[in-house]
Amino acid sequence: MWLVDHGFLRSLYSNRFCLPGPLYRSNQPSVARIHRYKRDLGLKTIINLRGYNPTQGRYQLEAKACEEAGITLINTRVHSRGLPTADQINELKTLIDDFETPALTHCKSGADRAGIFAVLYCHFRLGQPIDEAKEQLHWTYGHFRSAKTGILDHFFESYIRYRDAWKHQHPAATEPTFLEWVNSDYDRDIMEHEFKPRGFANFWVDWVLRRE
C-alpha cells in the first residue's frame, strides 16, 4: 500500500480542505490521521468514495480505525473517469442530505471523486448554484480537466449550457434545476461519447498518478 496505493505521498500531504458543515475533503486517510481527526476535529462520519472492498488492506485498516474511534463509515462507489447514472446522483443526494457532521469525504487522491462529491454537497446541502459549486473540481485540488477526469467538468458544464439555453427560450419561466435535468434530459452515454481527453494529461493521470 505504501508504494502501490501511493501511501508515501499521502504521508507528506493530505490534500485536506474544509467546507461549511463542516465537511472535510481529502485523500485516503491513514489510521493515525483517522484517530487524530477524531480527537482534533470531533469527526463523526467518514464517507469513503472508493467503495466497500473488504479484501483490500487499506479498506480493512480504515474500517477498523473507524470502529475503534467511534466514527460512522459510509461506503459508496464514485468514478473519476466515468459519469454517474441518474440513479447514482439521486442516491448521493440522499446520502448528502442525511450524513452527520463533522464529516470527512475521501477518495484515493482527494482530487476527482472527492471533487464531484464536494460539488454535489455544495449544491444539494449548502444551496450553491452549480456554477459556483463546480469550482470544487479545480487544479488546486489536483484535478486535471484535460485528462479523462475532465469528464466530470463536462457533466456539470453540460447542465449549465442546457439551463442557459432553456432560459433563453423561456425567459419568463422558472429554470430547470440540476436534479430535474439529471432525471429528465441527462444522457450519460451520449455525454461520455462526446468528451475527448487530451494526450499528456491522460498519461500523467493514468500512468503516473494512477487515478482510479
Q: pLDDT category, 6, cuts 50, 70, 90?
A: very low
Residue 212 pLDDT grade (very low, low, confident, very high; cuts 50, 70, 90): low
> How long a stretch of residues is the chain?
212
**Overall pTM surpassing 0.85 (yes/no):** yes
Which of the 8 DSSP states describes residue 140? G
**pLDDT for the residue numbered 176:** 96
Residue 47 exposed, middle or buried by CB count within 10 Å (0-12, 13-18, 19+) = buried
Q: What is the mean pLDDT of the chain?
A: 89
Q: Which fold has domain 7-208?
A: Protein-Tyrosine Phosphatase; Chain A (3.90.190)
Mean pLDDT of all residues in 94-114 = 97
What pLDDT shows up at residue 5? 46
Cross-strand bridge partners of residue 77:
50
All 3 cell numbers of residue 102?
Answer: 463533522
Measure the CA–CA gap between 9 and 30, rounded to whole angstroms.
11
What is residue 199's predicted lDDT score, i.e. its pLDDT? 58
Phi-psi region of 24 (alpha: psi -120 to 50; beta: other; left: phi over 0): beta
pLDDT attached to residue 7: 47
Domain extent listing, the chain: 7-208
